A and B are shown apart, each in its own frame.
Chain A
Amino acid sequence: MKKTPLYDRHVALGAKIIDFGGWDMPVQYSNVIEEHHATRTKAGLFDICHMGEIEVKGPQAFELLQWVLSRNIEGQAIGQIKLSVMTNEKGGIIDDVTVYRLGEERYLIVTNAGTKDKDLSWIETQRKARGLARVEVLDNSDRTGKIDLQGPLSEEILQKLASDDLSSLHFYHAEDTRVMKIPALVSRSGYTGENGFEIYTENRRIGEIWDKLLAIGTGLGLKPVGLGARDTLRLEAGMMLYGNDMDETITPLEVVYGWVTNLEKDFVGSTALRKLKEMGLARKLVGFEMEDRGIARHGYKVFKDATEVGVVTSGTYTPTLQKAVGMAFVPVAASRPGTDIFIQIRDHQARARIVELPFYRRQK
């Protein structure tokens, strides 16, 4: 099992540790609901060192990425971030990633933890197949440490340690700065639906920043947050989780990633996706709220008119909304908000209603 450089700190904080994609990760420190509320109302600190960082650089970096990413990255400014997926020839999702343009010919692809190796070899395979010799694909994951600081007080807390004025850093933008005088890449982005930051630095220095943020933030209500609350936060915000809500058998058009898929350009999978769009989709990922008592969970079956029609991909009790919600695949014909579906929970079927995503939107 792999451990992040912060592992010993999690154990010292009394965290419960679970296996997540081959990594020993904290699922909760105190309890999921408290950590969730801390992030929504004050601030939460997350160990994200397990995620992958792939650097793509050289004169043909743009050309390679334009081919492997579904998103059109033409016009992406230096410092700007774009969310995208990578698809295989059939249009199935290999991973969902954030793409940072760091320089004229330099990009950083941030991948999910369990998919990094496969992403890396996929990009390398495509590089060779396209005969692109003037671009390098580098795995920076092992030497990169990453923590997320999320929540309404995150800016106030991070500003105490950052060299540059964070108020001028826009949403989905990144800048090279210093945190406690340590060179770091900081972006205004995250996976919680709150204002917040993702902080990247050298693996061996990340612990110093983690410790200092906790030291200065705890009095303001900052808490370390485990994967349990990370999951409830992202689900409330209508964000999907790779491996849970999507995988290689699912296309971006069927989930909430149509908007990051540009079928005007050519990329791996674009031909298949155009065809699929033309033929019409069979299923769609939707959000739902439970109307009857019960909590839908990943893998539970979805029924409509006594026929099995789909499956729940994510489901939980959400601490902010204090109700049970989830995401499920349903036939397109039954995907309209307001439609009732039934979810098999153990020996009974419970009524749920399809609703618009996200479930939660922060007040600005």
Chain B
Amino acid sequence: MSKPNPADRKYSKEHEWAMDEGAGTIRMGITDHAQELLTDIVFVELPAIGKKVKQMEPMAVVESVKSVSDVFSPVSGEVIEVNKELEEHPEVVNEDAFGKGWIAKLKMDDPAELNNLMDAARYTEMIKEEKH
């Protein structure tokens, strides 16, 4: 069973989360549900600092033993920090997708884009429906 989806952040339909950290920045990662589907994560390709991305464009790659999956940016903006820890320990995404397994921080082009994302309740509902 996946962990509950925290209410302090927003969610994309591609299973990313974005947490508003103030001053027009967010921290993002993939959801616990996503890591559960991927199982054993063995490699994370982080974006370069300064990379500019559009909302829901691929910005990083997560690989399990058998699969390669794009990670989409929940907002448009610029990458200002990445979680270097994941280069040595990609399994942290499996262990703590909502916490220590964060992927990047971005400076948003337009904070209003957060409104395009789901809240925890709706995201929880969506993954419940996917299972049927």
Contact = CB atoms under 8 A, between A and B. Distances in A.
A228 to B, nearest CB: 5
A294 B39 contact: no
Interface residues of A, number: 18
Interface in A213-232: 228, 231-232
B87 A27 contact: no
The prevalent SS among residues of B at the interface is strand
Contacts of A256: none
B39 A317 contact: no
B34 to A, nearest CB: 15
Contacts of A232: 65
Nearest to A36: B65
Contact of B65 (A228, A293, A294, A346): A228
Contacts of B45: 293-294, 346
B40 A27 contact: no
Contacts of A231: 66
Interface in A221-248: 228, 231-232
B43 interface: yes
B63 interface: yes
A316 interface: yes
Interface residues of B, number: 12
B64 A32 contact: yes
A33 B61 contact: no
**Residue of B40, B68, B87 contacting most chain A CB atoms (<10 Å):** B40
Interface string B57-86: 000010111101000000000000000000
A295 B66 contact: no
A28 B42 contact: no
Contacts of B42: 33, 295, 317
A319 interface: yes
A27 B61 contact: no
Interface of B: 39-40, 42-43, 45, 61, 63-66, 68, 87
12 contacts: A27-B66, A31-B39, A31-B40, A32-B40, A33-B42, A228-B66, A293-B87, A295-B42, A295-B68, A317-B43, A317-B63, A346-B45
